[in-house]
Structure 1
Amino acid sequence: MLKKLITIGLFGVFVVSMFIYSGGNNFASADSNKTLTIAHRGASGYAPENTMAAFEKAVDMKSDLFELDVQMSKDGELVVIHDTSVDRTTNGSGMVKDLTLDELQSLDAGSWFGEEFAGEPIPTLGEVLDEYRGKTGILIELKSPSLYPGIEEKVAEELRERNMDKPNNNKIIVQSFDHESVQTFNSILPSVPTGVLVGYSSTGISDEALNEFATYAEYVNPSKSMINVNLVDRIHELGMETHPWTVRDLESAESLLNAGVDGIITDYPDYVNDRK
């Protein structure tokens, strides 16, 4: 009787172990096939773009990553803002490169979006990395890097200082429309995944271009209007992934999910999360 109970017990342990093992594999497989939600300039449909309020909203809405834009102040500090001038998103005027960090951070970068965001400052890249390191993924865009010689090394140093130069699970990605800048960053810090941004072209992306991208980038991120199943397949065949931009309507989110993209850059994280 005792022998029989032991046999039954061992069998039960075996069954449970197999179930857990199988479940673990299924979970990993499902996770690897997940379409990432990437909050564009933070959850910029709900808070002023490229501010801590927008990044916090992105995390609250369970985005997998948020995207931000990096430029450089007159005194060489890395600041998070999209336009090369401060006119559209602050109460100031002038070019980012012509203003010091103190001048930039004295501006109101929130009131234009809503009174409840009055006083939101332009953050530095370091402030964002310190606040969200380990909490979420961050997609860093080098914005107009030709205006800021050496910006690639400065971004790399910010990551090194925080031990973020060897990210787990591609939690840090650096991208740009300036493909030469992407190559430069890749040569400085090859451990950090990089992406090439591609603006809309009626001729699409050639095989020659994709093969070139594959020599220094892990991601090809085109305008959403360029995406179809064929392009996604061609990108995947070269071992790269794609995060198209920028979704601002439900139909676009649905179309990109059906095309099999790996991530979606969106002002409205819930438009993607509600459809995954």
Structure 2
Amino acid sequence: MLETFRYTNNKAPKISVHRGGKSIKNYPENCLETIQYVNANMDAIYEIDVAKTKDGKLVLMHDNSIDRTTNGTGLVMNQTYSQLKEYNLVDDFGNVTKFRIPLFEDVLEWSKQNNVVLSVDIKRSVPQSEVIKAIKDAKAEDVCIIITYDLKQAKSAFALAPDMMLSVSGRNDREVEALLTSGIPTKNMIAFTGTRLSDKSLFEKLHDNDILCMLGTLGNLDKRAEARGDKLYSDWLNLGIDMLATDRPFAVAKELKK
């Protein structure tokens, strides 16, 4: 993957699906079946959120509590996995589905078998080291990208997993310069440029250093494209952006096929 996701040898998908798929009727976020459904329809990578149960199991869940995304209630950290798997996941429209909260290890196994790349967002309540260990135990290093939010997290992830791909914050020249002097090889980096459009000079600087860049259209930019037309996704890619992290993967995929 370190070769696939380099700018000079770019074979990476152009779509990163936020939370494994959102706003899809009958398919909840952070759900293995949702990832499978989206993956059957497009070439993409999948951003997922990893939380930890009371009994130390790693599961997919964005929020601290399960109230919004399941028909249960309570904090993830206060419940065992046996308790959590009794609940059903709820889609973004309030529909209770037949799907359950997945174990991270099961999602890793499926991704490895199907060569599907996961971008792994580690919740604050979970030690980075535990998630990286789970990835290594599953021998899934080549289908996982570790998301980091600052230089300290990036350096600790690189120290733990020097052969893994990292999503790093590169929203401006200052952050990019800090990355370039961090001691982390650029071949390990994908730069997340934030959820606002930057000047194309930022993308050029990243490319000059052989780093792919990802724009988060999730939120305001997705809403702008929905209101003004999906051609905006092509326009943004034409600025030099390599990947779009989106809540509207089907709209992006349709636009890119034109």
Report the TM-score range of the alignment, normalised by the length of the smaller protein: 0.7 to 0.9
**Which amino acid is the alignment partner of residue 160 of structure 1?**
K
TM-score by length of 2: 0.79
Mapping for residues 115-130 of structure 1, pairs under 5 Å: 115=95, 118-130=97-109
Q: 2:179 aligns with which of 192, 207, 213?
A: 213
Tell me what 2:163 maps to: 191
Check conservation: 1:111, 1:118, Cα contact below 8 A.
Answer: yes
Q: Identify unmatched segments of 5+ residues in structure 1.
A: 1-28, 199-203
Q: Name the structure where helix makes up a greater proportion of residues.
A: 1
Q: Which has the larger radius of gyration?
A: 1
Tell me what 1:79 maps to: 59
**Which amino acid is the alignment partner of residue 100 of structure 2?**
P
Check conservation: 2:22, 2:92, Cα contact below 8 A.
Answer: no
Check conservation: 2:54, 2:81, Cα contact below 8 A.
Answer: yes
Q: Which moved more, 1:209-218 or 1:55-64?
A: 209-218
CA distance in 1, matches of 2:9, 2:160: 30
Q: Percent identity?
A: 21
**Which amino acid is the alignment partner of residue 119 of structure 1?**
K
CA distance in 1, matches of 2:194, 2:86: 34
TM-score by length of 1: 0.75
Tell me what 1:20 maps to: none
Runs of 4+ in structure 1 displaced over 4 angstroms?
Answer: none
Q: Identify unmatched segments of 5+ residues in structure 2.
A: 1-6
CA RMSD of superposed structures (Å): 2.6
Check conservation: 1:69, 1:141, Cα contact below 8 A.
Answer: yes
Tell me what 1:152 maps to: 128
CA distance in 1, matches of 2:9, 2:90: 36
Mapping for residues 58-207 of structure 1, pairs under 5 Å: 58-110=38-90, 113=93, 115=95, 118-135=97-114, 136-144=116-124, 147-148=125-126, 151-165=127-141, 167=142, 171-177=143-149, 179-197=151-169, 205-207=172-174
Tell me what 2:248 maps to: 268
Q: 1:41 aligns with which of 16, 19, 34?
A: 19
**Which amino acid is the alignment partner of residue 213 of structure 1?**
L
1:228 aligns with 2:195: no
